Amino acid sequence: MSRLSFTLNDSNKIPWLAFGTGTALYTKEAKKEVIQAISHGITHLDGAQVYGNEASIGDAIAESGVPRSSLFVTTKLWDVPAGKTVRDTLVESLRKLKVDYVDLFLIHNPQLHPDLKSVWKQLEELKKEGLSKSIGVSNFRIKDLEVILPGAEILPSVNQIEYHPYVFKASKPLIDFLKKHTIVPTSYGGLTPVNRFKGGPLDPVLEKIAKRLGETRGKPVTSGQVLQVWLRQQGVPAITTTSKAERLLEYLDVETIPDLTSEEVKEIEETGSEMKWIDEDP
């Protein structure tokens, strides 16, 4: 069971490991996979309105037998239809999820909302009302955060972004900005170097570190687990997904793996920065 959590700036706790229902499950029935994740001890479920499968997450929660209070449920605001409010969209999400509240409600994409400051004020009201325990953002750049932070009554608790060593260099100004404002970065795509860019410059580095960690603890460690330890060590929650039970066990096992050395962290970040990535001004 996943036991590691981090404390957010509103004093709520967020489990380190999350099961995501986007990517491979985007617009697809996700009940089977979510039930499997919950049954293996993953309590943090990361959904979104645009994923089109909130109802199947709700079915999984209802059928899991796990108390609502033991789960951490995230969903994300997409657009706000004409004649509707942000609250209306969350109430609809809650109906689909079959819950009375979510633990985290995020603005999914800043570019969908011309008046970000107004949208953020509406999220603040939803937190006060108790419909979401914590509120935050996703895919926000520094310039987007600079729109909502002045005058904000409640700071975003998280900013969910693509984050892995191949975007480390491009992301560093944003990560530093988040830390300055006590906003926790959460990572999607954290396994990109091993899942989507096999053969990249990080491969031998990750394999070498995995070998050292495996020898240290007397149990094999994978390159993907090294990447997740890198995230864990920074206090960055990791969102990932799989349909395979053995992969879930691999993710959960990360909590038992020793820390990387400072030299290993440096080598991962410097080697990751060698990869040419499409940089966007954070």
**Catalytic residue positions, numbered:** 51, 108
Residues 6 or more apart whose Cβ sits within 8 Å of residue 262:
none
Neighbouring-strand partners of residue 237: none
Q: Are 59 and 98 in contact (CB under 8 A)?
A: yes
Alpha-carbon distance 178 to 183, whole Å?
A: 5
Hey, what are 109's tokens?
Answer: 């994409």
Alpha-carbon distance 14 to 43, whole Å?
A: 10
Residues 6 or more apart whose Cβ sits within 8 Å of residue 138:
76, 106, 107, 108, 109, 159, 160, 161
In degrees, to the nearest 5, what angle opens at C-alpha 281 toward C-alphas 278 and 282? Answer: 110
Alpha-carbon distance 131 to 134, whole Å?
A: 9
Q: Are 1 and 17 in contact (CB under 8 A)?
A: no
Residues 6 or more apart whose Cβ sits within 8 Å of residue 76:
47, 48, 49, 50, 105, 106, 107, 108, 138, 160
- Encoded amino acid at 150, one letter: P
* Residue linked to tokens 């997409």: 78
Alpha-carbon distance 45 to 41, whole Å?
A: 11
